[in-house]
Amino acid sequence: MSMQIPRDAILLRIFFGEDDRYERRPLHEAIVLKAREMQLGGATVLRGHIGFGHSSHIHTSQALRLSQDLPVIVEIVDAQSRIDAFLPVLDSMMSSGLVTIEKVQVLQYGTGTTAAT
């Protein structure tokens, strides 16, 4: 099954800590699995080295720091309607964090044949 993403799409960006969980599973894993189940275009998980949120508590990967709850970002790009359908599901999965959306233009998605050289 080949999924299509329109040229004018939405980037959903979700920020939270790596210690966050949903139903005994790491939250980032649960979000990616739910996005796949709902047949969204794709999801990418990024792990940060340092960051802070609403508490202003610094989360860092430095060896001498006690806090290891590093920042995690999940990015999902798809059509506005598909992102809109995913948002209530995402809301039920998260207890805290930051969720943003922005308009993007998709220039390439998926694999295609490469041009002969």
Q: What angle do CA 37, 110, 83 make, to 5 degrees?
A: 40
Domain boundaries, the chain: 8-105
Q: What is the pLDDT of residues 90-112, one digit of tens each?
A: 999 999 999 999 999 999 877 76
Please indicate whether residue 1 or residue 94 has the higher confidence score (pLDDT). 94
- The pTM score is 0.83
Partner residues linked to 94 by β-bridges: none
**Residue 48: its pLDDT value, please?**
87
Q: Which class in CATH covers the domain with range 8-105?
A: alpha beta
Q: What is the pLDDT of residues 34-57, one digit of tens each?
A: 999 999 999 999 998 887 777 667
Q: Which residues contact 104 (CB under 8 A, 6 or more apart)?
A: 9, 10, 11, 77
Say if CB 72 and CB 48 are below 8 A apart: yes
